[in-house]
Amino acid sequence: MGGLNRNVAAAAVGLSITGCADPCFDDGLAQGGCPSVETETETQADTDETDSAAATESASASGTDSAGDTAGSGGGGEFECPDFDEVLLPQTPTFQLVIDRSGSMDEDFGGVSRWDATKQTLTDPQMGIVSALQSQIRFGVTLYSNPMGSRGCPTIDALAPQLDAADEISTLLDGHMPMGDTPTGESLELIAADLLADDWPGEKIIVLTTDGEPDTCEQPDPETDQEIAQARGAAVDAVTSAHANGIRTFVISVGSEVGEDHLQELANAGQGVGGGEPDAEFYVANDTEALVAAFESIIAGVRTCTFDLSEPLAPAQIPDCELLVNDAAVPFDDPDGWVQTGDTEIELQGGACGGIQEGVVIIELNCGCEA
């Protein structure tokens, strides 16, 4: 849903004047045979009016008024109007939980294995994320690996997204154990393709949960800097492609064995963060409690809190701008308000972001420059 911008321009219309000389007469129906004659003074008047109309039209097209200010500049004389309206409608989102099934997921994680901690976080009847939210969110799960001796790589075991999926997800997790390697890039390509084929109208999100550096089907044990870079690049490319097709990706490291520089690359690619923009958040969990918190944080922010403007918002305009969420004013540059994150981008933070996650939400930015 994009913002709705309304720009109105007015154009002057020139009038032409004709007259008759004796002995002709004009009966008002153009039946008197009287030729149309313009005096020199009238001709000049027509020219002046035409020039004035053209100037008005030119000013309207260029966004300037008679005083030379740019339309919608708020008096600054140089800016277009960045006002916008956006309506967020309730939808049931889809979360595909992508879980690294490599052998290292069997290692200790505060008294339980990483694998068991992940199962508990998702499907425990009392504390499981899926168990608690399965009626509001479509959950699917994909386990990926490259077991030694496997004929196909990557090996994918998946449950398609659905409501009330806790029992099915628990059964899938119970039926598999960690083994093999971590072909993250190739696996994400297949998973994103399956999600794109799903015709559900709500937002689609991948949550990647992994405990190790990626490898590839061609090189399951990368050792050189070049091999490591290729494996990382394949994962980042897959996440970048998914985002380009409308699928956001969040990343959780189970343990601290994945390089934070790679986690940051994945997180930025998954949220479409470009150069010069604030980095996206990634999650590192070293125990079950932190793993639960990571999933809760991701799922609580299913609606994006970043919005694009159709026109740049200049710093000089901000004091004249008011952001409303369901008619309630949101403060600028506040931890629970809104900030500018780019020339044509704003973001809701903290409580303001949390406040738009449910129901019908109307967001309006008015900078006082409507025509």
Of these ranges, 13-27, 84-98, 131-145, the one predicted with the greatest mean pLDDT is 131-145
Predicted confidence at residue 4, as pLDDT, reads 31
Looking at the structure, tell me whether residues 293 and 311 fall in a common domain: no
Looking at the structure, tell me whether residues 211 and 231 fall in a common domain: yes
Looking at the structure, tell me whether residues 226 and 357 fall in a common domain: no
Asked whether residue 3 is domain-assigned, the answer is no
CB neighbour list of residue 359: distance below 8 Å, 6 or more residues apart: 90
Looking at the structure, tell me whether residues 158 and 275 fall in a common domain: yes
- What rounded mean pLDDT belongs to the chain? 81
Predicted confidence at residue 65, as pLDDT, reads 42
Which CATH number is 172's domain given? 3.40.50.410
pLDDT band of residue 51 (cuts 50, 70, 90) is: low
Asked whether residue 123 is domain-assigned, the answer is yes
Residue 45: is its pLDDT beyond 90? no
Predicted confidence at residue 118, as pLDDT, reads 96
Asked whether residue 334 is domain-assigned, the answer is yes
Asked whether residue 57 is domain-assigned, the answer is no
Q: Give the number of other Cβ atoms within 10 Å of residue 73's Cβ.
A: 20
Give the closest residue to 215 by CA, choosing from 116, 97, 115, 104: 104
Q: How far apart are CA 195 and CA 188, in angstroms?
A: 10
pLDDT band of residue 38 (cuts 50, 70, 90) is: very low
Predicted confidence at residue 285, as pLDDT, reads 96
Residue 28: is its pLDDT beyond 90? no
Looking at the structure, tell me whether residues 244 and 284 fall in a common domain: yes
Looking at the structure, tell me whether residues 272 and 346 fall in a common domain: no
Looking at the structure, tell me whether residues 125 and 251 fall in a common domain: yes
Predicted confidence at residue 16, as pLDDT, reads 30
pLDDT band of residue 370 (cuts 50, 70, 90) is: low
Backbone angles phi and psi of 246, in degrees to 5: 90, 10
Q: Domain boundary at 274, 300, 326, which?
A: 300
pLDDT band of residue 279 (cuts 50, 70, 90) is: very high
Q: What percent of the chain has pLDDT over 90?
A: 59
Give the mean pLDDT of 190-206.
Answer: 94
Residue type, 279: D
User: By residue range, what is the domain housing residue 167?
Assistant: 94-300
pLDDT band of residue 306 (cuts 50, 70, 90) is: confident
Asked whether residue 345 is domain-assigned, the answer is yes
Strand partners, 365: 84, 323
pLDDT band of residue 299 (cuts 50, 70, 90) is: confident
Looking at the structure, tell me whether residues 295 and 314 fall in a common domain: no
Give the mean pLDDT of 98-108.
Answer: 96
Q: Domain boundary at 275, 300, 325, which?
A: 300
Q: What's the chain look like in SS3? A: CCCCCCCCCCCCCCCCCCECCCCCCCCCCCCCCCCCECCHHHHHHHHHHHHHHHHHHHHHHHCECCCCCECCCCCCCCCCCCCEEEEECCCCCEEEEEEECCHHHHCECCCCEHHHHHHHHHHCCCCCHHHHHCCCCEEEEEEEEECCCCCCCCEEEEEEEECCCHHHHHHHHHCCCCCCECCHHHHHHHHHHHHHHCCCCCCEEEEEEECCCCCCCCCCCCCCHHHHHHHHHHHHHHHHHHHHCCEEEEEEEECCCCCHHHHHHHHHHHHCCCCCCCCCCCEEECCHHHHHHHHHHHHHCCCCCEEECCCCCCHHHHHHCEEEECCEEECECCCCCEEEEECCEEEECHHHHHCCCCCCEEEEEECCCCC
Give the closest residue to 287 by CA, choosing from 98, 100, 116, 99: 116
Q: How far apart are CA 28 and CA 38, in angstroms?
A: 17
Residue 17: is its pLDDT beyond 70? no
Asked whether residue 31 is domain-assigned, the answer is no
Looking at the structure, tell me whether residues 354 and 242 fall in a common domain: no
Give the mean pLDDT of 272-285.
Answer: 89
Predicted confidence at residue 217, as pLDDT, reads 93
Looking at the structure, tell me whether residues 146 and 235 fall in a common domain: yes
Residue 183: is its pLDDT beyond 90? yes
Asked whether residue 30 is domain-assigned, the answer is no
pLDDT band of residue 78 (cuts 50, 70, 90) is: low
- The mean-pLDDT minimum among 61-75, 96-110, 231-245, 323-337 falls in 61-75
Q: How far apart are CA 163 and CA 359, in angstroms?
A: 19
Predicted confidence at residue 357, as pLDDT, reads 81
Give the closest residue to 296 by CA, choosing from 91, 92, 90, 95: 95
Looking at the structure, tell me whether residues 322 and 202 fall in a common domain: no
The model's pTM:
0.67
Give the mean pLDDT of 178-192.
Answer: 96
Predicted confidence at residue 88, as pLDDT, reads 76
Predicted confidence at residue 238, as pLDDT, reads 98
For the segment 125-155, what is each residue's pLDDT rounded down to a tens digit? 988 999 999 998 999 999 999 987 556 899 9
Looking at the structure, tell me whether residues 211 and 228 fall in a common domain: yes
Instruction: Between 111 and 25, name the one with better pLDDT.
Output: 111
- The mean-pLDDT minimum among 136-150, 213-227, 244-258 falls in 136-150
How many structural domains does the chain have?
2
Asked whether residue 115 is domain-assigned, the answer is yes
pLDDT band of residue 77 (cuts 50, 70, 90) is: very low
For the segment 151-174, what is each residue's pLDDT rounded down to a tens digit? 689 999 999 999 999 999 999 999
Q: Domain boundary at 285, 300, 315, which?
A: 300
